[in-house]
Amino acid sequence: MRSMSDSGVLHIKGRVLVGADPDGGVRDELWAVDGRITFERPAGARDVTTVEGWALPGLVDAHCHVGLDAHGPVDASTAEKQALTDRDAGALLLRDAGSPSDTRWIDDREDLPRIIRAGRHIARTRRYIRNYAHEIEPDDLVAYVAREARRGDGWVKLVGDWIDRETGDLSACWPRGEVAAAIAEAHRLGARVTAHCFAEESLAPLVEAGIDCIEHATGLTEETIPLFAERGVAIVPTLVNIATFPRLADGGEAKFPRWADHMRRLHARRYETVRAAYDAGIPVFVGTDAGGSLAHGLVGQEVAELVKAGLPPLAALSAATWSARAWLGRPGLEEGAPADLVVYETDPRADVRVLGSPKRVILRGRVIG
């Protein structure tokens, strides 16, 4: 574990990017006192540590899985390494989009990122990765959604589509009536609902049922993009994960050729899909899908992928900082907020690739050294 430097007062000096507005979103400095941000120099401040550079709010990975690997839940030591890897990459707020592990102990660690949990995945029987999800039938969906709404931190995660062994292709997992009732129950309990969706056919029924977010969303089309925009349903494209589709297709082609062809087509149009969603006004946020088969610490790469898809650099940056934090109900760089921020040598608005090389990561006012 990298050491953390405790100091009485921390002074961030240079350019503090408090928002996306080029005119009003930049300050010259901020201070961290007792782990909280202030824009007023503390009276009589002593033992001051100064960090210079370009400062952003701690980055957000809005789709990752701490406590999970390709085979299922992992031990606490492995989960700790995953969280530390995200932290050192500057991802200080994680939305854990489904995990069978109990990671509540992380909340007691001052040196680890904050996690917003979605409970455990909820999937149809034999329609998801083994050891990941509650595998149930539609009659039990409302009850399991209520259970995970109470277990999570304001989110529930469904598996909206997966390969159907009978048809040999992706297909929707839930009947409309059951999923609408389940989403209504989650909302009654104060939770939002998101769903894993690769294919086209699962999207409209979920949006019409009131879902709040779709993960991956590779199946968006000219018909469903306006529906998402009208309802304000967000997407988390996880492009660093979608990059694996050709390899997955190669591995499954012998048994499921229709599915393999479908996955390749979804991959081929991935950038076009994300750009069309952004252009239509659909909220887009950064997520990596780390913790299944992907490594942690890829948040900077995902921002760069959004730019490659055609998002303006400032919009891609906001999808991992200011707008992402607002969407998740967490503060950015504002008076009294926890002093969670990342400092870079150069302006990340000019080149988002700098996100891959933080100069300093500051967690609750402490500099990670």
Place of tokens 């690769």: 198
Asked if CATH classification 3.20.20.140 holds for the domain at 59-327, the reply, yes or no, is yes
List C-alpha distances in Å: 253 to 60, 128, 250, 261: 35, 18, 5, 8
CATH 2.30.40.10 boundaries in the chain: 4-56+332-368
Query: Using one digit for the tens of pLDDT, what is the confidence trace for 160-187?
Result: 999 999 999 999 999 999 999 999 999 9
- CATH 3.20.20.140 domain span(s) along the chain: 59-327
Q: How confident is the model at residue 369 (pLDDT cuts 50, 70, 90)?
A: low
Is the pLDDT at 294 greater than 80? The verdict is: yes
The mean pLDDT of the chain is 95
Distance (Å, whole) CA 169 – CA 166: 8
The single-letter DSSP state of residue 104 is: G
pLDDT of 4 = 43
Query: Both tokens of residue 330?
Result: 């967490």
Count CB atoms within 10 A of the CB of residue 105: 11
Residues 66, 173, 62, CA angle at the centre, nearest 5°?
A: 30
pLDDT average, residue stretch 140-168 = 97
Q: Are 260 and 252 in contact (CB under 8 A)?
A: yes
Residue whose C-alpha is closest to residue 101's, from 126, 66, 77: 66
With 90 as the cut, is the pLDDT of residue 23 above it?
no
| Average pLDDT value for residue range 201-224 | 98
- Are 118 and 82 within 8 A, CB to CB? no
By percentage, how much of the chain surpasses pLDDT 90? 93
What are the Cα distances from residue 241, in Å, to 73, 146, 368?
19, 29, 28
* pLDDT at 48 (0 to 100): 87
> For residues 136, 140, 146 and 151, what is the CA-based torsion angle, rounded to 10 degrees?
-30
Tens digit of each residue's pLDDT (9 = 90 or more) over 98-109: 999 999 999 999
**pLDDT tens digit string along 37-94?**
999 999 877 778 999 999 999 999 999 999 999 999 999 999 999 999 999 999 999 9
Give the burial string for 294-308 (b: 16+ CB within 10 Å, else e).
bebbbbbbbbbbbbe
User: Band of the pLDDT at 5, cuts 50, 70, 90?
Assistant: very low
Element (H, E) at 124: strand 122-124
Q: For position 3, what pLDDT does the model report?
A: 40
Could you give the C-alpha distances from 236 to 32, 221, 276, 321, in angstroms and in order? Answer: 31, 16, 14, 14
Distance CA 354, CA 314 (A): 13
CATH 2.60.40.10 fits 4-56+332-368, yes or no: no
Q: Which of 288, 305, 306 is nearest to 297 (CA)?
A: 288
Q: How many CB atoms lie within 10 A of CB 138?
A: 15
